[in-house]
């Protein structure tokens, strides 16, 4: 399907821009350090994007790691990979402008083949997704016959198509423990750190019971476990939450390990003098705007892939998208990839066995 191109962007008046800047300020962007000029600059773009979005019957899902002006200015729904995949399904919009990275936009396309899906920054990849190819999965299967392949959602459509079930950081422990009820050996890919964390949580041996791949996230692999003790000393009572893509040595020292949704729920439900979110910086910014009464200790890194999307790229995708922004998944791959994604929904929500 080809994108409708050259939609003419409506022009806001000065008053429209002022009101839009006030709306952005009310969402907490001022507290994140956006100056008046920043807000006015963003407001002109968010106003145009929102007007074009209505005109083109488009929807904008945004991952929690996206820039704050995207999350608060133009996103229709915000979430982790699982939530976004779910919310893209059954949405009545004809066009999905996916603010995230390529594997997420591909998942949206697989689940919504009749819709047009655009990735505003077509270069937005993911080090985990790029660490493994479909032939690697076929080779692992041949080396470990009978072992089911559980695959992290951070993978290409072609790798998903070779898998038995997709998992997210939040539901991986539940789905893998289900798999171990009926299998002695399970393959988990591509995140080696997460695989090691899962092996520890499920009391399984790496190499004989849980087979892992050697991929890593360029953001989470770099957090240093040695600083945790220092932070606990200078921020007494701090609750430290880490993403499950972090190293096992770091994970063993924190109060919660999980996905971004788990981290946000923990912050919401607990009372602590300080919180530290060890993950991409976007989540900390989102937490600061959602829980302005809570205090957050900075400890985050930027993901260059997640930061590739900005308001100008979103406007361009609506007005005149680059051909590389149009997400296409060949139907034979999409059909095979849809099955393990749906298996994840089934196993995560109902606990069905594989
Ligand atoms: S934060 Fe890591 S896992 Fe997420 S998109 Fe960036 S490289 Fe990939």
One-character DSSP codes across 292-322:
TTS-B---EE--TTGGG--HHHHHHHHHS--
Which CATH number is 14-124+307-321's, of 3.10.129.10, 3.40.50.720, 3.30.110.40, 3.40.50.10800?
Answer: 3.40.50.10800
Average pLDDT for 276-301: 94
The pLDDT assigned to 349 comes to: 82
Check whether 1 has a pLDDT greater than 50.
no
Q: Give the three-state DSSP class for 174.
A: helix
The pLDDT assigned to 114 comes to: 93
- The percentage of residues in the chain with a pLDDT greater than 90, rounded to a whole number, is 89
Token pair of 210 as six digits: 């849980």
CA of 121 to the centre of ligand 1 (A): 15
Average pLDDT for 93-111: 96
**Ligand 1 within 6 A of CB of 121:** no
Q: 220-302 maps to which CATH number?
A: 3.40.50.10800
Radius of gyration of the chain (CA): 21
Closest C-alpha to ligand 1, atom 2: 217
Starting from the edge strand earliest in sequence, which strands make up the sheet with 165-167, in order? 165-167, 149-152, 186-189, 210-212
**Ligand 1 within 6 A of CB of 101:** yes
The pLDDT assigned to 81 comes to: 86
**Ligand 1 within 6 A of CB of 108:** no
| Domain ranges, ordered by start, for the chain | 14-124+307-321, 129-217+330-350, 220-302
Q: Which atom of ligand 1 has the smallest separation from the CA of 218?
A: 7
CA pair distance 242, 244, nearest whole angstrom: 6
In this prediction the pTM is: 0.93
**14-124+307-321 matches 220-302 in fold:** yes
Nearest to 343 by CA among 178, 210, 130, 189: 178
- pLDDT tens sequence across 307-317: 999 999 999 99
Count Cβ atoms below 10 Å from residue 307 Cβ, excluding itself: 16
CA of 207 to the centre of ligand 1 (A): 25
Average pLDDT for 76-100: 90
- pLDDT tens sequence across 116-175: 999 999 999 999 999 999 999 999 999 999 999 999 999 999 999 999 999 999 899 999
Check whether 2 has a pLDDT greater than 70.
no
The pLDDT assigned to 6 comes to: 58
The pLDDT assigned to 344 comes to: 95
Check whether 338 has a pLDDT greater than 90.
yes
CATH architecture, domain defined by 129-217+330-350 = 3-Layer(aba) Sandwich (3.40)
**Ligand 1 within 6 A of CB of 303:** yes
Band of residue 4 on the pLDDT scale cut at 50, 70, 90: low
């Amino acid at each position: 399907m080809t994108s409708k191109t050259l939609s003419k962007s409506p022009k806001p008046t000065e008053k429209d821009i002022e009101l839009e800047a006030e709306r952005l300020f009310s969402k907490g962007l001022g507290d994140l350090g956006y100056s008046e000029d920043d807000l006015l600059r963003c407001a002109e773009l968010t106003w145009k994007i929102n007007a074009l979005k209505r005109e083109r019957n488009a929807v904008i899902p945004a991952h929690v790691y996206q820039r704050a002006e995207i999350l608060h200015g133009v996103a229709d729904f915000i979430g982790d990979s699982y939530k976004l995949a779910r919310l893209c399904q059954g949405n009545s919009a004809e066009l999905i402008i996916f603010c995230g990275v390529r594997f997420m936009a591909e998942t949206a396309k697989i689940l919504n083949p009749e819709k047009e899906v655009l990735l505003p920054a077509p270069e937005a990849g993911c080090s985990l997704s790029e660490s493994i190819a479909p032939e690697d999965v076929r080779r692992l299967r041949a080396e470990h016959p009978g072992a089911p392949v559980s695959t992290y959602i951070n993978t290409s459509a072609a790798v998903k198509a070779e898998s038995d079930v997709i998992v997210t950081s939040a539901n991986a422990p539940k789905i893998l423990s289900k798999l171990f009820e009926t299998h002695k050996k399970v393959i988990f890919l591509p995140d080696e750190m997460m695989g090691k964390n899962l092996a520890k949580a499920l009391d399984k041996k790496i190499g004989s019971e849980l087979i892992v791949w050697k991929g890593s996230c360029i953001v989470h692999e770099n957090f240093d476990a040695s600083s945790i003790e220092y932070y606990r000393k200078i921020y007494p009572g701090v609750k430290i939450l880490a993403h499950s893509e972090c190293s096992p040595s770091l994970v063993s020292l924190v109060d919660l390990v999980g996905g971004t949704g788990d981290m946000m729920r923990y912050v919401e439900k607990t009372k602590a003098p300080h919180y530290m979110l060890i993950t991409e910086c976007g989540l900390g910014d989102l937490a600061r705007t959602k829980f302005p009464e809570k205090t957050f200790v900075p400890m985050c890194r930027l993901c260059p892939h997640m930061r590739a999307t900005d308001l100008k790229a979103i406007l361009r995708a609506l007005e005149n998208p680059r051909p590389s922004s149009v997400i296409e998944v060949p139907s034979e791959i999409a059909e095979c990839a849809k099955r393990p994604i749906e298996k994840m929904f089934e196993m995560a929500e109902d606990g069905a066995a594989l």
